Amino acid sequence: MEKRVILAFLLSFLVLVGWEALFPSAKPVPVQSNNSLITHSSSTDHSLNGKTSKLESRVGGSEDVNPRHSKQKTTKLTTRLFKLSNSVLDIEFTNQGGGGISKAELKGFFETPEKKSLYRLFHIVEATPLLQVQGLVGVSCDILHPDVEQSSKSKLSFHYRCGEQGSFSIIYVIGRQYVLDVSYDFTQLAAAENKEFWVSFPANLLDRPTRSSVNQEEFIYGHSDDQVERVSLTAEQADISVNQAVQWVAFGDRYFFVGVLSPDIFKPKINVEFKKGENWATHLVLLKYLIPHDLSRKTSLLSTQLYLGPKDQKQLSGLGTMGEVIDFGFFGFIASPIYSFLKFMYAHVVSNYGIAIIILTILVRLMFLPLTLKGMGNMQAMQRIQPELQKLKEKHKDNREKLNQEMVGLFRAHKVNPLGGCLPILIQIPVFFALYTVLMNAVDLYHAPFFGWIQDLSGKDPYYVLPALLGIAFFVQQKLTPSTVDSTTQKVMMVMPIMFTFFMLNLPAGLNLYILTSTVLGVIQQLAINRRAASIS
């Protein structure tokens, strides 16, 4: 029974890590072009084979969104770039297509462990910029040619003229951290109440050569009832059917993301369309805001927040349910304190996340040591009475009821609990899976060095030393562990160290380090128990 539980646990773990290693999310085709709702005021044609976009039809076409565009001639627009920056962010804006965010880089992170270039969160060349104005339904405004005003390195304003109806503005203000405040000012625009205002939020922009095969992309959004929906993004994926109000919407990979957070009075509805050309693919998310009734009497600005940065609990603590973008899985309630403890160890005990992982693994092993010893001792006892169990099975093979009675008597006589080896293992499973999810998703391990050849705990071991050592340690532990199963199961178990090594090859070095440390500790524990059993015999 004990061996079967161990086998089931190991097989389930292998399935978990094997799926990550063998079937990662398909990499999207790099974004090169996109079809906007607005006719760009440049000579480049961004239409999709001359066909009308589905999103255009949803809002009544580009003429309904901005009637003046159909009457204006397409003119050449000189591209101008603007920049806002602070100690952690560099954000680039463009005036193309009416303005939006074209580039974002994180100053505290780099593309490679060699730290040659800043981590590029996204860089849009020809596709629809982030937060590009798509239209204000029922109001005629010159969206394509905004007046841009930059009063400082931290504040940028786009002003849009709407003829006799007035104007509206978008104001970007960058603070000290990863949050960009985005405010929409409609107070100078007549008859703006109860109008639909559209802005773009393109996803699938994180593709880069340095991406890990397990660093999958996601499109995530939070409902009004605090529920979170996750959609893995692939280049083959069709349209995503979403048409509901959300508190926030985000796209990102395992460690970083971009997200828009809106207050209760300004929650957008979202429509998502998948677009794929010959050389590009993207999910164009359209945020549809409803300007509140009698806006000018309530507030001068409608404010949202744009987060551009790492999936870090501390940074996201003030952004409500957007913190749910950090996915620690089913055992998140266990993973969160483990993650906090790992950060504490790094900040106050050691300055190396590799050593912190080893210490954490040792402490978890020590915490479960009494249960582990009890389970292993019970397995030793079960192995000792195997000959007697086999005799009983042969003697009462035609009488199941009598066999069960005799087996219960044998267990009582030797003080053996047939489930004694299972329960300690089952209790530990949630903790070890929580550790697994922490080490797979902790942005703190991104390009964090250990020593020697391991300079990135979030990437694979470049020389596969840790997976090889893990396979050897797993094989030794398997040989030392008492066996109470038949020969067929034993043969299956002999193949598992090879499978395990194969599955771990491309997984993060930090995860390999954790499992290797835990396995080595298991070998030491088993040696101690075997020596004790030998002395008693």
Angle at which helices 509-536 and 369-384 pack, to 10 degrees? 50
Structural domain spans, the chain: 2-22+334-536, 54-327
Q: List pLDDT tens digits, range 186-221.
A: 888 877 777 888 899 887 644 444 444 456 678 888
The set of residues, in sequence order, having a beta carbon less than 8 Å from that of 253 and lying 6+ positions away, is 206, 211, 215, 216, 217, 218
The set of residues, in sequence order, having a beta carbon less than 8 Å from that of 383 and lying 6+ positions away, is 482, 483, 484
Two tokens, residue 356: 């912190």
Region 11-26 average pLDDT: 48
422 CB burial (10 A radius; 0-12, 13-18, 19+): buried
Instruction: Specify the 3-state DSSP secondary structure of 154.
Output: coil
The predicted pLDDT at position 472 comes to 93
Q: List pLDDT tens digits, range 103-157.
A: 999 998 988 888 888 988 888 776 788 999 988 888 888 988 899 999 888 999 9
What helix, strand, coil percent values describe the chain, rounded to 5? Answer: 40, 25, 35
End-to-end CA distance of the chain: 24
The predicted pLDDT at position 481 comes to 73
Two tokens, residue 476: 């030794």
Q: List pLDDT tens digits, range 439-460.
A: 888 999 999 999 999 999 988 9
Q: Facing residues of 159 across strands? A: 147, 169
Angle at 515 between CA 513 and CA 517, to 5 degrees: 65
State the pLDDT confidence band at 64, using cuts at 50, 70 and 90. Answer: very low
Spatial separation of the C-alpha atoms in residues 273 and 237, rounded to whole Å: 10
Q: Facing residues of 93 across strands? A: 82, 101
At 383, which amino acid appears? Q
More confident residue, 424 or 11: 424
Q: What is the pTM of this model?
A: 0.78
| Exposure class string for 69-103: b at 16+ Cβ within 10 A, else e | beeeeeeebeeeebebebebbbbbbbbbbbbbbbb
Q: List pLDDT tens digits, range 271-322.
A: 777 766 555 567 788 888 888 766 555 555 788 999 999 999 889 988 888 8
Instruction: Check: CB of residue 1 under 8 Å from CB of residue 250.
Output: no
Beta strands in 337-412 (DSSP E): none
Instruction: Specify the 3-state DSSP secondary structure of 305.
Output: strand
Instruction: Check: CB of residue 437 under 8 Å from CB of residue 329.
Output: yes
State the pLDDT confidence band at 356, using cuts at 50, 70 and 90. Answer: very high
Residue 53 has pLDDT above 60, yes or no: no
Q: Using only C-alpha atoms, what is the Rg of the chain?
A: 30
49 CB burial (10 A radius; 0-12, 13-18, 19+): exposed
Spatial separation of the C-alpha atoms in residues 153 and 173, rounded to whole Å: 9
Two tokens, residue 372: 């582990």
The set of residues, in sequence order, having a beta carbon less than 8 Å from that of 261 and lying 6+ positions away, is 247, 248, 304, 305, 306, 307, 319, 320, 322
At 1, which amino acid appears? M
State the pLDDT confidence band at 352, using cuts at 50, 70 and 90. Answer: very high
The predicted pLDDT at position 78 comes to 80
Two tokens, residue 530: 């075997």
Q: Facing residues of 223 across strands? A: 246
Residue 159 has pLDDT above 90, yes or no: yes
Spatial separation of the C-alpha atoms in residues 151 and 82, rounded to whole Å: 11
Q: For residue 508, report the phi and psi dihedrals to the nearest 5 degrees.
A: -55, 145
The set of residues, in sequence order, having a beta carbon less than 8 Å from that of 46 and lying 6+ positions away, is 33, 34, 35, 36, 40, 126
Nearest residue to 285 via CA among 209, 231, 216 = 231
Two tokens, residue 197: 């205002």
Instruction: Check: CB of residue 510 under 8 Å from CB of residue 353.
Output: yes
C-alpha separations of 447 from 255, 420, 444 in Å: 11, 42, 8
Spatial separation of the C-alpha atoms in residues 88 and 82, rounded to whole Å: 17
Q: Quick one: CATH architecture of 54-327?
A: Distorted Sandwich (2.70)
H or E, element range at 35:
none
Region 35-42 average pLDDT: 31
